[in-house]
Amino acid sequence: MSTAPLSTVVLESRFAQELEELSVPWRADDVADPRLLVLNEPLAAELGLDPAWLRSPEGARLLVGNLVPRGATPVAQAYSGHQFGSFSPRLGDGRALLLGEIVDAGGRRRDLHLKGSGRTPFARGGDGLAAVGPMLREYVLSEAMHALGVPTTRSLAVVATGRQVRRETLLPGAVLTRVASSHLRVGSFQYVRATGDTDLLRRLADHAIGRHHPDAAGAENPYLALFEAVVVAQAALVARWMLLGFVHGVMNTDNTTISGETIDYGPCAFLDAFDPATVYSSIDHGGRYSYRNQPVAAQWNLARLAEALLPLFDEDQDRAVSMAEEALEAFPRQYSAAWSAGMRSKLGLPEDLDRDVASFLVDDWLGLLQQNRVDWTASFRALGGAARTGAHAARDLFLDLPAFDAWAERWRAVGPDPGVMERVNPVYIPRNHLVEEALAAAVEGDLDPLGRLLEAVTAPYDERPGLERYAAGPPDDFGTYTTYCGT
């Protein structure tokens, strides 16, 4: 075991220092016997942390917040949030801590953050804890998303605390160490706006510009430019989700980042059979955050960000509102452009193909998938194979063969490029039934299925022999999948 000294771990506390009003210095609960369940070695190396040291007892203490490195001022962050449309002025990190920031090997500043580290002043009625299953779930899902090329928070480690967590039953407790380019959310701006302190709002916006959208600093109106940059980032992000069949499940404004990273893997899941109305979360009765509503939900959240920023756009608030409206109008355009370009690649359509021809092919394909309840991920990959060899694998997925054949004839006539399709259509995603299987085993102490699943989904585009079960849809008896927020 390495003895790399703790002095090599240096954390900065720029957020805590620059925005003192937005955090409360806090310490993690003591964990008597922390046990590392999973460690992301490549990410550790990227952060300049020695994986062997992180595996040592001292390393595990760092990962649960019991050992505070030099320069670190762990804080619970304050933020507000619209949750399913209704505003909570004071949410904040109820069971999480920002340990500090680490400047990685590439010079990028990244947050080191703990989830499940005990109650904080923002805990309200919560116990401040997290269970092993949901933290491993966030680990797998976020690392899969990263490997799929989607901007996301990352997972460095999950450590079992040995404590029991009371949910519907007693569950083993854990702490997740999360890495993000920051934890600034739409809700952070809403929190500051609600204080009425415009100077603090400007400092928060300047911090966000410096950290995420530095080009905005040189714009004629830097704060409007910041907002426009967040619109661009969120439009691109949600388009990526939609193209991959990802349903976030809880797109509240406190779970919408300023960086454009996916954050807070709670009730999220990937589509199996394609149905745009799909909802997985047990509490989303109205389907507010269904698959198809995600672009609209993101735009709604961005409107809340614009409201929070209005005092910075212009002294004349009527003019500020017009500026915000105009900037927000870019969202549907940017989203649609990203979605259309992505769908053209997923179907391997030539770049110079007539736009109408392309959009009919896309729409008719989506109609076929929905009518035949075809697996989203498998369908595109099989179709890529069809472009190379013949239509069999893809054709087998459909019940209405004449309809498939008619569409496939039109599609083949435009000369689809299988190489493009293989680069953008994953073979392996964290399929719901496989995630459940791996987590059930992990909670019982067997981490092997989780390890194998991670191996598959962290190289999602590279088809490998022996991994067939990771590419296949759910078994017939898997039934309707429901996810829970009680994480």
Residues that contact Mg ion, how many (by CB under 5 A): 2
Catalytic residue selected from 254, 264, 284, 417: 254
Q: Is 24 helix (H, G, I), strand (E, B) or coil?
A: strand
Task: CB nearer to ligand AMP: give 202 or 288.
Answer: 288
Task: CB nearer to ligand AMP: give 55 or 304.
Answer: 304
Which of 123, 232, 330, 443 lies at the binding interface for ligand AMP (CB under 6 A)?
123
Query: Binds 256, which of ligand AMP, Mg ion, none (CB < 5 to 8 A, cut-off by type)?
Result: none
Q: Nearest-CA neighbor of 269 among 376, 363, 398? A: 376
Task: CB nearer to Mg ion: give 268 or 368.
Answer: 268
Task: CB nearer to ligand AMP: give 114 or 226.
Answer: 114
Query: Binds 206, which of ligand AMP, Mg ion, none (CB < 5 to 8 A, cut-off by type)?
Result: none
DSSP 254: G
Q: Under the criterion CB under 6 A, does residue 129 sit at the interface with ligand AMP? A: yes
The 201-240 contact track toward ligand AMP, x by CB under 6 A, reads: ----------------------------------------
The residue to which tokens 């994480």 are assigned: 487
The residue to which tokens 């400092």 are assigned: 203
Cα separation, 385 vs 278, whole angstroms: 27
Which of 12, 41, 127, 307 lies at the binding interface for ligand AMP (CB under 6 A)?
127
CB atoms within 10 A of CB 194: 13
For residue 477, indicate whether it is catalytic.
no
Work out how close the CB of 90 gets to ligand AMP at its nearest, in angstroms, rounded to a whole number.
Answer: 9
321 near 357, Cβ under 8 Å? no
The residue to which tokens 């190379």 are assigned: 388
Cα separation, 240 vs 267, whole angstroms: 18
Work out how close the CB of 79 gets to Mg ion at its nearest, in angstroms, rounded to a whole number.
Answer: 9
Which of 25, 48, 89, 126 lies at the binding interface for ligand AMP (CB under 6 A)?
126
Work out how close the CB of 185 gets to ligand AMP at its nearest, in angstroms, rounded to a whole number.
Answer: 9
Which of 11, 49, 75, 91 lies at the binding interface for ligand AMP (CB under 6 A)?
91
Task: CB nearer to Mg ion: give 261 or 264.
Answer: 264
Q: Which two tokens stand for residue 419?
A: 């190489």
Query: Binds 91, which of Mg ion, ligand AMP, none (CB < 5 to 8 A, cut-off by type)?
Result: ligand AMP
Task: CB nearer to ligand AMP: give 166 or 410.
Answer: 166
116 near 173, Cβ under 8 Å? yes
Task: CB nearer to ligand AMP: give 93 or 228.
Answer: 93
DSSP 178: E
Query: Binds 123, which of ligand AMP, Mg ion, none (CB < 5 to 8 A, cut-off by type)?
Result: ligand AMP
Which of 29, 46, 93, 138 lies at the binding interface for ligand AMP (CB under 6 A)?
93
DSSP 428: -
461 Cβ partners below 8 Å, 6+ apart? Answer: 422, 423, 424, 425, 426, 427
Query: Binds 93, which of ligand AMP, Mg ion, none (CB < 5 to 8 A, cut-off by type)?
Result: ligand AMP
Q: Is the dihedral of CA 102, 139, 234, 281 positive or negative?
A: negative
Q: Under the criterion CB under 6 A, does residue 284 sit at the interface with ligand AMP? A: no
Report in angstroms the alpha-carbon separations of 38 from 108, 177, 276, 335: 24, 10, 34, 36
β-strand partners of 270: 246
Which of 95, 110, 178, 248 lies at the binding interface for ligand AMP (CB under 6 A)?
95
78 near 122, Cβ under 8 Å? yes
Give the interface segment with ligand AMP, choosing from 203-211, 213-221, 250-258, 463-471 (CB under 6 A).
250-258
The 231-270 contact track toward Mg ion, x by CB under 5 A, reads: ------------------------x--------x------
Work out how close the CB of 233 gets to Mg ion at its nearest, in angstroms, rounded to a whole number.
Answer: 18
Cα separation, 483 vs 141, whole angstroms: 13
Cα separation, 247 vs 268, whole angstroms: 5
245 near 291, Cβ under 8 Å? yes
Q: Under the criterion CB under 6 A, does residue 264 sit at the interface with ligand AMP? A: yes
Work out how close the CB of 255 gets to Mg ion at its nearest, in angstroms, rounded to a whole number.
Answer: 5
Cα separation, 472 vs 474, whole angstroms: 7
The residue to which tokens 């797109």 are assigned: 251
Q: Under the criterion CB under 6 A, does residue 288 sit at the interface with ligand AMP? A: no
Cα separation, 390 vs 384, whole angstroms: 10
Work out how close the CB of 170 gets to ligand AMP at its nearest, in angstroms, rounded to a whole number.
Answer: 14
403 near 411, Cβ under 8 Å? no
Query: Binds 128, which of ligand AMP, Mg ion, none (CB < 5 to 8 A, cut-off by type)?
Result: ligand AMP
Looking at residue 41, its amino acid is E
Work out how close the CB of 418 gets to Mg ion at its nearest, in angstroms, rounded to a whole number.
Answer: 40
Kindly identify the residues of this chain, within the stretch 455-474, that bind Mg ion according to CB under 5 A. none
* Burial group, residue 385, by CB count within 10 angstroms (0-12, 13-18, 19+): middle
Task: CB nearer to ligand AMP: give 266 or 430.
Answer: 266
68 Cβ partners below 8 Å, 6+ apart? Answer: 27, 74, 99
**Which residues form the catalytic set?**
254
- The residues of the shown chain that bind Mg ion, judged by CB under 5 A, are 255, 264
- The residues of the shown chain that bind ligand AMP, judged by CB under 6 A, are 91-96, 122-123, 126-129, 250, 254-255, 264, 266, 485
